[in-house]
Structure 1
C-alpha cells in the first residue's frame, strides 16, 4: 500500500473516531460531581447486625470413615464440608464436641451466633441427649429475644423431628441413599423469609426439573405423618418434598413457624465440597444452591445478639484443629476434623 493510501485511511478513521479534545475531556463527569459521594464516605454497615458471625457445629460419633482414620473410643468428627459451607458465606466455626461436659458446651453456645446439626447415623445415647439439650437451649435463646438460627441437615432434621414430636419412633424408612434428585415446592408454602427467599426464580424452577440436590438417607418423614402430628405440624411448615427410589414421597425441607430453624433432609453442603460419590451434582446450578443455602444461614446469624469475647473465641475456633484427608478410599467424606473424647 502506498504512503498516500495510508494517509487517506488515517484521515477517514480520524473523521469517524476523532481524538478527544480538551472540551471533550471536560465533559467526563465523576461520581462526586453527581453527588454520589466519594470512597471516603461509604455507607456505614447496619449497626443492628453482627458482621463477624460464628456458627457452632456439633460433632458426630466416630471418625466419619468407618474406622479407617481412627478406632479410638469416644472419637468424634465434623466433616470439613460443613465447615467450608459456613466459611463460604462469611462466618467462622466453633466445634461443639458432643462428648464435652454439658456446662462447657453451654458456655460455647455463648461464643456462637447459630448452630448446625450435621448428617450422620446416631439417634440415641449421649449424642441424642447432647443434641436435645442444645436444641432446647436454641429455642430458649430465641424466646429470650436473641435471633439464634439452627440448620439441621439430614440426621439433624430427623433428630429434631424426634425431639419436637417427643416420639423416637416417628421416622419412616425411605430408599434415598446416594441419590441426586429434584425437589418439589409445596404450593401453599410461603418461601419469603425462608432459605429459598433469595434463590433466583430460574434456579427454583430448575430444582423442580433437574437433579440438583443430593440425598443420602434411609429414614425421613412423609408429609401426611408430619401433618397428622399436632406437635410437628404446629412447629414446622413444609416447604418442599422429594421422592425416593420407590416413588415414596418424603418431606425434604421445613421451616419453623416461630423460630429461625430450618431442616433439610437433603445435603446443601455436598454440591460444592464433597467428591466421594459420582452422583453428587457439581453443575454451576448445583453450586449456586450450596452458596444460597449457606448465605441464608449466615445472614440469619448476623441478627444474633451474641458478641463473644475475642480471646475466648480465638481459643475455641476450629482453626485450632487440622482436617484429615479421608477421601483416598474414593468414598465418604473428603476431609474430616477429628476430636478425641473430652
Structure 2
C-alpha cells in the first residue's frame, strides 16, 4: 500500500517542479515591469445600443394580454443582442412619432423582428425607420440593420416598392440547411466570421430555424430590378415541398443583412421541439450576433449616457409565457 501511494506522490512532486521551472522561465517579468493592456481602438464604440421595434399583440394571440394597443418584443431578440455585448432600447411601434425619433438618436444599430403584421401603422413605422437607416448611412454614419424573418419580408416589400411581391411557402416550424450561391464571396458578410467547418455544416446539417409562410423565389427576387440592385443573395433554402426561396440577403451598399431564418432561436427559444440546440447551432446564433454587434460598434453616435439608461429595456420586465405562449418562452409586453 505504501508503494502504491508513494509512486504517484513522487510523480506529482516531479511534475510540480517541472511546471514551476517552466513557469519561471516563461512568465517571469522584471521587478520594475508592469503588464500593460493594449489601448482600445478610439474609432470603435464599446458600449453599442441596438433599437428593436415592438410587434402588435402579445405574442400569444391575446392569451397573455388582450389590450388592443398591446405590443411585444420576444426576449430572445434582446438576449441575442446582449450575448454579443450590446444593450437594447425598445421602440414601441405605436408611441408618438417624436418619441420614436428621439430614441432613434440614441442607438447604434437596429433589429427588425419576426412576426406576422405587414400593414397599417406597423408597416408605416418600419418603413420610416428603414428609410432613416439608409439616410444615416448615406450621410456617412455607419448604422447596421439586421432584419429577421418578417423583417426580411418587410424590407423586400419596401425596397421592391411592391406590397404583393411575397409568395406562399411551406416553411413553418422547421430547421433547414442553407444553400450558398455559387461563387459567392462571403468576405464582409454575416458569414465571414464562420469557420470553414461551420460553413460546411450549414450546407449539410439543419442548423437554421425557419418559421414563415411567405418568401420570395430567387427568380422573382432577381427579376425585380430594385431588389436585385439593392441586395445580393447569399443563400437559398428549400421548403417542405422542395420549393426554393431566398433565405439570406445582404445589401450591396449598406450594412443591412436580412435572414429569412431565425438566428436568435437556437440559443434562446425552447417552446418548439424543432429548434436546433446543438453546439453547432448555438455557434450559428453567436456568430450572427457577434457580426451584427461588431457592425454597431463602428457607429460614431455617442448619446448622453443617462438618456440611454432612461430608455433601456432594463426599465421593463419580461413575461414568462408558460403554457399560454405561442412559440416564445419570454416576451416584453408594452401597453
TM range (shorter): over 0.9
Name the counterpart of 1:28.
25
1:328 CA displacement: 2.2
Instruction: Provide the secondary structure at the position in 1 that maps to 2:105.
Output: helix
- Report if aligned partners of 1:132, 1:163 keep a CA contact under 8 Å in 2: yes
Distance 1:213 1:26 in 2: 45
Change in Cα spacing, 1:43 to 1:233, as seen in structure 2 (3 Å) is same
Q: CA deviation at 1:73?
A: 1.5
Match of 2:155 in 1: 160
Corresponding residue for residue 111 of structure 1 = 106
Work out whether residues 167 and 216 of structure 2, in 8 Å CA contact, stay in contact via their aligned partners in 1: yes
Would you say the 8 A contact 2:60–2:324 is kept in 1?
no
On the 8 A contact 1:31/1:38 being kept in 2, the answer is no
Distance in 1 (CA, whole Å) between partners of 2:166 and 2:22 is 72
Identify the residue that residue 86 of structure 1 maps to in structure 2: 81
Match of 2:43 in 1: 48
Matched positions, count = 328
CA contact (8 A) 1:326 1:336 kept: yes
- The 1:27/1:127 distance shift into structure 2, 3 A limit, reads closer
d(CA) in 2 for partners of 1:302, 1:17: 49
What RMSD over aligned residues (CA atoms) do the two structures have, in Å?
A: 2.2
Shift in CA distance, 175/44, structure 1 to aligned 2, threshold 3 Å: same
Name the CA shift for 1:28/1:262 in 2 (closer, same or farther; >3 Å): same
Tell me, in whole angstroms, the C-alpha distance in 1 between the residues paired with 2:216 and 2:62.
30
Q: Match of 2:25, SS? A: coil
Structure 1 position 74, deviation (Å): 1.1
Conservation of the 8 A alpha-carbon contact between 1:178 and 1:277: yes
What is residue 180 of structure 1 aligned with on the other side? 175
CA positional deviation for 1:188: 2.7
2:246 to 231, 251, 267: 251
SS across alignment from 2:206: coil
Does 2:137 correspond to 1:142?
A: yes
CA distance in 1, matches of 2:238, 2:22: 63
Cα distance, 1:25 vs. partner?
Answer: 8.2
Q: Per the alignment, in what secondary structure is the counterpart of residue 93 of structure 1?
A: strand
1:277 to 272, 288, 294: 272
Q: Map of 1:1-342 to 2, 5 A cutoff?
A: 17=14, 20=17, 28-30=25-27, 32=29, 38-39=34-35, 41-329=36-324, 331-340=326-335
